Amino acid sequence: MEKVYLTFENMISIQLKKSGTALTAAEMAAITSMAIVYKGVSYSSGSYPTAFDWTTLASTGVVVLKLGLIPFASTGVDKYAELIVYTSDYPGGIVWVTLGLNVLDIIS
């Protein structure tokens, strides 16, 4: 279960793999956008570009998520949040990984 602290930049790093091997820099460069689906609501890299980074660590196939920068509609636990990856070959997206998220608001 990953903890997400609203308004904070805590990072979640996920290595994207295909057939057990990390994606190459070229494969990472083919990514056009991403989204996280939390409690049935999709939050995209188009709307929240600072929350998704698939370029800085592209050579290792790693995506860095700063999900606390997304103003989620609600807090709480979603055991089945999905990371969706979009490429020109898959414009409808691919559910890449399901992860548990616990979104916390520690300020209010």
pLDDT at 108 over 90: no
For residue 72, CA distances in Å to 11, 22, 49, 99, 105 come to 16, 29, 14, 16, 10
Give the count of domains, the chain: 1
- H or E element that contains 26: helix 25-29
On the CB side of 72, CA atoms within 13 Å amount to 26
Q: Which residues of 10-19 are buried (b: 16+ CB within 10 A; e: fewer)?
A: eebebebeee
What pLDDT shows up at residue 32? 98
From CA 16, how far away is CA 13, in angstroms rounded? 10
Range of the domain at 44: 2-104
Enumerate residues 6+ apart whose C-beta is below 8 A from 29: 55, 58
The per-residue pLDDT for range 40-86, each reduced to its tens digit, is: 999 999 999 999 999 999 999 999 999 999 999 999 999 999 999 99
Q: What CATH code is carried by the domain that includes residue 72? A: 2.60.40
